[in-house]
Amino acid sequence: MWLKTLGREHGLRTPARVDYRRVTPRQLVTALKRSSAGMEALLKLGFASQGRVPPSKGYVWRNLSLDVGHVLTYFVAHEAHHRGQIVMVARQAGQRLPRPATAGLWQWKMDL
């Protein structure tokens, strides 16, 4: 949604959404790669625009500073939030994830 809100007006492609009820792992990986490329393009747009993502008409909330540092920090924190949700939902469903899976979510090395 952030790509659509901030980037589409500036010519950035918005990846198609997946049907979260029917998406296959392969389709999800492909979609995530497209989303990653879009986020990279958004940050490059900000760098090319004197370090700020240009405002767009679709960005009505105006609660996120659009300098590249704030945008990147917000997206990293937001991604971490979703990774935490994965672990929490698994635990609530009585399916505690194995250590390699949780470590993999955060890309931690297992030999610490």
Which pTM was predicted?
0.80
Helix (H, G, I), strand (E, B) or coil at 52: strand
Which pLDDT belongs to residue 15?
A: 87
Flag whether pLDDT at 28 surpasses 80. yes
Q: Which amino acid is at 38?
A: G
Given pLDDT bands bounded at 50, 70 and 90, which one contains residue 105? confident
Q: For residue 51, what are the contacts with CB-CB under 8 A and spacing of at least 6?
A: 67, 68, 69
